[in-house]
A and B are shown apart, each in its own frame.
Chain A
Amino acid sequence: MLTTSSPHRPEPLLRLDGVSTWYGRGSGRFRALHDVSLDVHTGQSLALVGKSGSGKSTLMHVLALLDRPDEGRLLVDGVDATRMSPRAIGRIRNQRFGFVFQQFFLVPDATVLDNVVLPLTIAGVPLVERRRRGMAVLEQLRLAEKKDNRATALSGGQKQRVVIARALVTEPDVVFADEPTGNLDSATGDLVADELFRLHRERGITLVLVTHDEDLAARCERHVVIRDGALGRPEVAA
């Protein structure tokens, strides 16, 4: 199977190797990913595009170690993740990955700051440092004055910025974002996208975006088209 890796590049950050995933069991069993192979290199920005139900979220979840492939392998820096312990996988997700899910998934009763530093709390970072790093990222996203608000008491755009702040607070290597602008009006959507691409440019963060927004996809260096769970011809944006 053809992969996009080239011999000059270093070990890919993430490599899918013949991955298939099924949902359900018995006669209702449904193959959501069909023998997918894909390399993601450090510093890339990659758009997963395809029709609704084509398997974009499923693919992103496998890449992000949130779901184990039923067949095939996922390599993280060349190490087979399907053989890692749940604890080791948890540590990678916590320290190297940042997530923006298709829904906000904010803890409703916690403050904005507590929501943002949740990955640090889970990592066991001391309170003082948590506050410092949380405030730094909130300032970056112009949310500093909202730090003590309940997460529920925010507008949609503000919520999405909180989500992005939470994804960035651990200074991850990769940010996975599933329709990061899907719930937002175009102006707010642009703001959020600008922020992601700024970090991509300035810090070299790897971006894996799921979107069916053409404009957002156009800003990514690389497009991966998925159709009925299988990868179409990969294209490289101009």
Chain B
Amino acid sequence: MRTSDLVRAAVGNTLRSRVRTTLTVLALFVGAFTLTLTTALGAGVTDYVTRQVDQLGAQDVLVVTAAADSAPGPARYDPDTSTPSGAGAGPLPGAAAGGALTEADLEDLETVAGISDIEPVRTTAVDYVRVAGGDLDERYQLTIAPTASIARADLAAGEQLAAEGSAHEVLLPEEYVEPLGFADAEDALGTTVLVGVTDVLGEQHEVEAELVGITNPSLLGAGGGAGRALVEELAELQGAGVDQRPLYAVATARFDPSSDDAAVQQIKDAVADLGLSAQTVEDQLGLITTVIAGITGVLNAFAVVALVAAAFGIVNTLLMSVQERTREIGLMKALGMSGGRVFGLFSLEAAFLGLLGSVLGSVVAMAVGTGLNAVLAAGPLSALGGLDVLLFRPGSVLGVVGLIVAIAFLAGTLPARRAARQEPIDALRYE
């Protein structure tokens, strides 16, 4: 029998018993639908996170924090390193909220091989921001991301914060543009704003700063950014001349960006030996990726359960079909069809069921996903610009289809073997 005839026969047989085919395909459909969506979810989020990391452009930066207390329960108070809650909170998701770094820690860090430019980052808690000369009612709360001065922001307009110099510079998120009375981001650039801060004695101060850039909504760079000089100034004012223990939430250090994973790990281990923890920007984002991977993993598990059920469905359907077509199989064998071709016929029928289910499932998943993307982008996720939650890559969609066809084919081998082994004479005697 020619392969083309075999394929035609397989397709014909599958389409002949419509109800049974539909029911069998339904289970495969669910599996394909779920798998397509979950892989797209994983791809969409990973892609977004990767783009965010690229935008940060701080691939060679290590963020050093005091190691998080790994013991369960509340952390023990240590007068030397403990800071009021919040002050030590990580600048980026995943940064450890442990104690603070001391001058001694910084000196220790200097001894670690492979890192340079160790810079402690002071944290400041500012009260508000307003436009100089503007209405006092138009004051808005603001958080300053401590590492903003070293990271590269994802800008909607303007420039990055200068790494050096004494100018007071500030970056504001896009959402501040309208409330502060600007027409658009461009319009806001170059404006002098006032940053309000309260010192330890309860007195409020304002510092002038130039608005140099407007940042895009982002998963990471929550809050505004302040240049190094501005942060120093704000921190001084907050201290109000009172003698403070010099504590830092975070220190940054640079490493050779061309180092391989092993070298980076070595640096991290050395830092860990000091009782501190070092993370690359990627590590910090890794947490997000891990969470997403966990979620997609659970969803994938559901899809796999659906596929296992579908595989049994195929076995059952085809066994019934072999039973029903005993005479036809016997006839074909009597007329000289080889066992191999009979096997091929039933395996092809199984594979065709798989193809039907997986193609339908993936196509519907893509249609639903595209709609869902639009709805999410307009609604709940509008704050995250450029995020397509579901990213359908041709390669992974084809991979899902291929996987399901392979599963269907494997499930089909059992009934196909039974059909192939039938003796023509037994089949023809069957009443």
Contact = CB atoms under 8 A, between A and B. Distances in A.
A90 B331 contact: no
- Which of B16, B331, B335, B339 is packed against the most chain A CB atoms within 10 Å? B335
B343 to A, nearest CB: 13
B309 interface: no
Contacts of A105: 327, 330-331, 428
Given A61-B425, A66-B425, A105-B331, A122 B16 contact: no
B372 interface: no
Interface string A98-126: 01010101010100000000110111101
B334 interface: yes
B225 interface: no
Q: Which size class do B's interface residues fall under?
A: 20 to 34
A234 interface: no
B316 to A, nearest CB: 21
B332 A93 contact: no
A123 B337 CA distance: 8
Contact of B428 (A91, A92, A101, A122): A101
B245 interface: no
A67 B425 contact: yes
Given A66-B424, A66-B425, A105-B428, A124 B2 contact: yes
Nearest to A130: B5
A119 B1 CA distance: 9
Contacts of A92: 336
B328 interface: yes
A61 B327 CA distance: 16
A182 interface: no
A86 interface: yes
B428 A95 contact: no
Nearest to A119: B335
Contacts of B259: none
Given A105-B327, A105-B331, A122 B425 contact: no
A118 B332 contact: yes
Given A61-B425, A66-B425, A87 B338 contact: yes
Nearest to A93: B336
Interface residues of A, number: 25
Given A101-B428, A124-B1, A124-B2, A107 B328 contact: yes
Contacts of A124: 1-2, 5
Contacts of B330: 105
A86 B343 CA distance: 15
B327 A122 contact: no
A91 B425 contact: no
Contacts of A95: 336
Contacts of A119: 335-336
Contact of A86 (B2, B331, B339): B339
A44 interface: no
A90 B428 contact: no
Nearest to A98: B335
A99 B425 contact: no
A225 B414 CA distance: 44
Nearest to B333: A90
Contacts of B337: 90, 94, 122
A87 B331 CA distance: 16
Nearest to B327: A105
Interface string B1-17: 11001000000000010
Contacts of B327: 105
Nearest to A62: B425
Contacts of B332: 118, 122
Contacts of A103: 428
B13 to A, nearest CB: 9
Interface in B330-374: 330-339, 341
Contacts of A94: 335-337
B425 A90 contact: no
B425 A123 contact: no
A99 B337 CA distance: 14
A122 B328 contact: no
- Which of B1, B2, B5, B334 is packed against the most chain A CB atoms within 10 Å? B334
17 contacts: A61-B425, A66-B428, A67-B425, A86-B339, A91-B336, A93-B334, A93-B335, A94-B335, A94-B337, A95-B336, A99-B334, A101-B428, A118-B332, A119-B335, A121-B5, A123-B336, A126-B2
Given A94-B337, A107-B328, 9 more contacts: A66-B425, A67-B425, A92-B336, A99-B334, A119-B335, A121-B2, A122-B335, A123-B336, A124-B5
Interface of B: 1-2, 5, 16, 327-328, 330-339, 341, 424-425, 428
